[in-house]
Structure 1
């Protein structure tokens, strides 16, 4: 009886080891796939960043041709904020400027 029970335990252990090996192989393939996706995403972001830099240079050159201070416009609009929160605040503040001037109440900053 002892040998039969031992053989069953060894077979069960072998089956578990094979299942774990398959899972490890699947995880390895998923990791490789994720690494490829991260590389692709990095390349895309790099290209987009380059395009945005080119577009900014072009817009500043066009503004300069027309006698407009593009850097001042960007500073006023706070376009440099990556989250866009400053641009929204700037727009809200400009819209409320006339109201604030009449009431002498400073604009409340948004959170």
Structure 2
């Protein structure tokens, strides 16, 4: 093989290296973007958790003022939610009703 064959092989390797370098830069940009998005999401979640805690404190204060037992209401809500999720476990995968009714009940 002469110098021409070697030059072609070297050009092919160079082209492949440039393509890998381009892909690596694209991947680096994606990682940076993902990192920024993750940080923004974390900040949003932190803010929402703080707001939720504030709202819960306000609701508990209002409930106490009205004579409502917050713990019993919360316990009932958890029990109802658990019962709904237990009922939903037996449904077919294609049935997307959130009220626990089967698809046949709508017909």
Q: What is the TM-score with the length of structure 2 in the denominator?
A: 0.73
2:95 corresponding residue in structure 1: none
1:89 corresponding residue in structure 2: 84
The answer to whether the 8 Å contact 1:63/1:69 transfers is: yes
**Offset, 1:19:** 1.1
2:99 corresponding residue in structure 1: none
Superposition pairs of residues 9-88 of structure 1, within 5 angstroms:
9-78=9-78, 85-86=81-82
State which structure, 1 or 2, has the greater radius of gyration over its C-alpha atoms.
1
Unpaired stretches in structure 1, ≥5 consecutive residues: 91-108
The two structures, once aligned, show a CA RMSD in angstroms of 2.2
**Offset, 1:85:** 3.6
Q: Deviations over 1:35-89 (max 9, x none)?
A: 110111111111111111111111010000111111211111118xxxx943x63
Q: Runs of 4+ in structure 1 displaced over 2 angstroms?
A: none
Unpaired stretches in structure 2, ≥5 consecutive residues: 90-107
